[in-house]
C-alpha cells in the first residue's frame, strides 16, 4: 500500500511539472517552410539570422513504442550503431569530421522518435548533409561492432537507471502507469531484453526504419531559403539501396 501511495505522489508531482513547465513558442507556424523531396523526405526550414550557424536535425518516426515485445531498447541501440561507420566513413569518423569543421553532433531516442543533429557553420552545411545521407543508405555494422555497442548500452543503463534511485523510481512508475501501452517499456530497454538482442534483430529493425520516406529534416539557419533548398535536394534526393549493410 505504501508503495502505491508513493508512486501516486510521484505521478502527481510529474503532472504538475508538465502542466506548469511549458513555455511559449519562439516562432510561428507561418515562419516554417515545408518541402517534400522526390524520395519522400519531408524537409522543414526555419530561417534565423542571429548567427552564421545552422542546426540540422533529422527525425526518424520510430521510437521505443514501436519495438516488439521482448526487444526493448532496440531503437536506442540502433541509434548507437548509426555512429559505427559506413562504406565511406569509418567508425566514429562521423563525429570527428563534424568536430574538425568546428561543429557539434549528437543523437537522442524517445518513445516516439529518434533524432540526430549537427550544429555547424552555415557554409559547412553540405558536409553534415552528405554525412547524414551516407549513413542513411550505407550503414555497415558487423557482429563485433554490434556486441560492443550492446555492452555500452548495458553499462549506460547501469549508470543512469540502476545506480540512480530517482531514475529507477520513475522507470517503475512508467511500468505501472502504462500497463497496456508500449510506453511501459523504458527507452533504454530492460536489461533482460538487452541481453537477448542479436545482430540479426538489429539488422531487421534498421532496414525497416532508416529510409528517406520515414524521417523529417529540420533546419534552423541564417541561409536564404531559395538558395538552400535546391542544393539540399542533391545529396538527399536519391533513393537508398534496399537496406543498410549488416555483415
Contact predicate 62/114, CB 8 Å: yes
H or E, element range at 9: helix 2-20
Contact predicate 71/194, CB 8 Å: no
Q: Could you say which of 25, 30, 34, 79 is catalytic?
A: 79
Contact predicate 127/73, CB 8 Å: no
As given in the structure block, the three cell numbers for residue 108 are: 537522442
Q: Are strands 215-221 and 42-47 parallel, antiparallel or unpaired?
A: parallel
Burial class (CB in 10 A: 0-12, 13-18, 19+), 146: buried
79 is catalytic: yes
Contact predicate 217/43, CB 8 Å: yes
Q: In what order do the strands lie in the sheet with 42-47?
A: 32-36, 42-47, 215-221, 53-60, 114-121, 104-109
* Residue 165: count of CB within 10 angstroms of its CB: 9
Contact predicate 45/219, CB 8 Å: yes
- What span, in angstroms and rounded, lies between the C-alpha atoms of 154 and 158? 6
DSSP 139: B
* Residue 2: count of CB within 10 angstroms of its CB: 6
- Catalytic residue numbers, as ranges: 79
Amino acid at each position: 500500500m505504501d508503495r502505491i501511495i508513493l508512486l501516486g505522489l510521484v505521478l502527481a508531482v510529474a503532472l504538475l511539472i508538465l502542466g506548469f513547465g511549458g513555455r511559449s513558442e519562439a516562432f510561428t507556424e507561418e515562419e516554417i517552410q515545408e518541402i517534400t523531396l522526390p524520395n519522400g523526405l519531408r524537409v522543414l526550414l526555419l530561417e534565423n539570422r542571429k548567427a552564421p550557424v545552422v542546426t540540422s536535425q533529422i527525425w526518424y518516426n520510430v521510437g521505443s513504442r514501436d519495438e516488439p515485445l521482448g526487444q526493448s531498447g532496440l531503437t536506442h541501440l540502433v541509434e548507437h550503431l548509426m555512429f559505427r561507420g559506413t562504406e565511406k566513413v569509418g567508425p566514429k569518423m562521423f563525429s570527428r569530421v563534424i568536430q574538425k569543421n568546428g561543429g557539434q553532433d549528437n543523437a537522442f531516442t524517445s518513445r516516439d522518435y529518434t533524432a540526430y543533429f549537427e550544429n555547424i557553420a552555415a557554409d559547412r552545411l553540405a558536409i553534415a548533409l552528405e554525412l547524414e545521407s551516407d549513413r542513411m543508405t550505407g550503414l555497415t555494422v558487423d557482429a563485433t561492432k554490434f556486441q560492443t555497442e550492446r555492452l555500452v548500452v548495458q553499462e549506460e543503463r547501469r549508470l543512469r537507471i540502476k545506480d540512480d534511485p530517482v531514475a529507477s523510481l520513475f522507470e517503475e512508475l512508467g511500468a505501472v502507469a502504462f500497463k497496456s501501452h508500449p510506453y511501459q517499456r523504458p527507452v533504454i530497454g530492460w536489461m533482460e531484453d538487452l541481453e537477448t538482442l542479436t545482430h540479426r534483430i538489429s539488422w531487421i529493425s534498421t532496414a525497416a526504419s532508416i529510409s528517406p520516406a520515414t524521417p523529417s529534416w529540420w533546419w534552423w539557419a541564417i541561409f536564404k531559403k531559395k538558395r538552400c533548398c535546391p542544393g539540399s535536394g542533391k545529396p538527399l534526393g536519391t533513393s537508398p539501396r534496399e537496406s543498410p549493410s549488416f555483415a
